[in-house]
Amino acid sequence: MKHETLMLHGLFAACLLVCALVVGSMLTTVPLSAQFAAKAGATHALVASTNACVAPGHGATCPLPRG
């Protein structure tokens, strides 16, 4: 009976350690999108845009607004 109790205590300690490490890593990890947003400036956002009218220096013709 003593052997089983020691094994269960060891298993509990190992599971507690793993859970603490997983929760700690989830709380301290910064999402990749936030890292990109912090590094990229406004010019990078304009160049990476899919709208050709945002950066007219590339020879794109923008449609005129109706009105």
pLDDT 10s per residue in the chain (67 long)?
A: 899 999 999 999 999 999 999 999 999 987 777 767 667 654 455 555 555 565 556 666 666 667 5
DSSP string covering the chain: -HHHHHHHHHHHHHHHHHHHHHHHHHHHPPPHHHHHHHH--HHHHHHT-S-TTS-GGGSPPPPPPP-
- What pTM does this model have? 0.47
pLDDT for position 47 = 54
Domain boundaries, the chain: 2-56
30: tokens are 């910064």
pLDDT for position 8 = 97
